Amino acid sequence: MRDTSGEWEVSYYRTLMSCDGVLMVGGGQSTRVAGIVALAQRIPLLPVAVFGGGAGQVWVNLDKVRNDADDADIALLGEDWSSDSAGKLVACLVRQRTRRVEFQRTAARRDRLSAWSGAAGWAVALACMAVAVAGLVTAGPTRAATSADLTLLVGAPLLASVAGAVIRNSFETESRWLRACIRGLGAGLVTVLLYVASQLLSVPTLLDRLDVRRLLFITIPLGFTAGFTFDLVFERLRSGAVGGSPPGSDLLSGSAPSVGQGEPRE
């Protein structure tokens, strides 16, 4: 096929990208460069080292990279020439081609599984977030705490933390949303329980007149943030810096602000 380029190197090296295999015998610098390109593109490569030249150098490079060649192939490419060498070399090239096709099939299967796993993770995050927000609608009126109220108070933020952890994991190169769910669940549980505990310390009678809906407006975003930043939560736990109330813990305490040391008293 005629090429519009006036330089043979452009057409020559560009053609390598569409080759099913490359056979190299002797040659010079351009042969060695072509071999390096073939190695980088994982193209089945047959550098016959016995005749030296650029092909001999590519054989040395193939021994370090391997791609789809094994020990037997490397040894065969370095043997002296004999009457049956041509047949053996062709069989070697076919074996490399077969391994490359299998590698491509495995990679395509892995990509499909990764895409499915990512889509499933997004579906789980969306479902968890929807159920958590639905807790704001289903929350009962202010009353003495029941088991259903406590379940909603803790469960909705935990679902939000799972959603945050899965969304955070979607930014990673490797999708492991199941592991992210567990980490986000742990971070959300610790954060929400610390928040509720701080409320109980400030208002001991909180459970006697519990306003679940009002608390959920704080705990759901708190749980989502804990799940999204679970690595920071665990780092604080390892360092022991878990004292103090989470942000917004004084909104429902019902206690008057303390008088500062430098303020006048009546």
Q: DSSP string spanning 122-171? A: HHHHHHHHHHHHHHHHH---SBS--HHHHHHHHHHHHHHHHHHHHHHHTT
Quick one: 177 and 225 in the same domain?
Answer: yes
In the block, tokens 């303020």 appear at 263
Q: What pLDDT digit, counting tens, does each position of 67-83 carry?
A: 999 999 999 999 999 99
Domain enclosing residue 74, as ranges: 8-105
Report whether pLDDT(92) > 90.
Answer: yes
Please give the Cα distance from 188 to 132 (Å, whole number). Answer: 13
Total domains in the chain come to: 2
* 250 occurs within a structural domain: no
**Res 117: pLDDT:** 83
Please give the Cα distance from 149 to 241 (Å, whole number). Answer: 30
* 32 occurs within a structural domain: yes
Specify the range with the lowest mean pLDDT, choosing from 8-12, 135-139, 233-237: 233-237
Q: State which of 49, 74, 105 marks the end of a domain.
A: 105
**Res 230: pLDDT:** 79
**Res 234: pLDDT:** 67
Please give the Cα distance from 259 to 29 (Å, whole number). Answer: 83
Quick one: 126 and 24 in the same domain?
Answer: no
Report whether pLDDT(229) > 90.
Answer: no
Indicate whether this model's pTM tops 0.95. Answer: no
Quick one: 123 and 80 in the same domain?
Answer: no
- In angstroms, the Cα distances linking 86 to 47, 81, 82, 101, 197 are 12, 9, 8, 23, 79
**Res 241: pLDDT:** 54
* 256 occurs within a structural domain: no
Quick one: 74 and 34 in the same domain?
Answer: yes
**Res 265: pLDDT:** 46
3-class DSSP state for residue 55?
Answer: helix
Q: State which of 74, 105, 136 marks the end of a domain.
A: 105
* 257 occurs within a structural domain: no
Quick one: 119 and 101 in the same domain?
Answer: no
Q: What pLDDT digit, counting tens, does each position of 189-198 carry?
A: 888 888 888 8
Quick one: 169 and 64 in the same domain?
Answer: no
Q: What pLDDT digit, counting tens, does each position of 16-67 carry?
A: 888 889 999 999 999 999 999 999 999 999 999 999 999 999 999 999 998 9
Quick one: 82 and 146 in the same domain?
Answer: no
Quick one: 16 and 55 in the same domain?
Answer: yes
CB 16 within 8 A of CB 34: yes
Q: State which of 60, 82, 105 marks the end of a domain.
A: 105
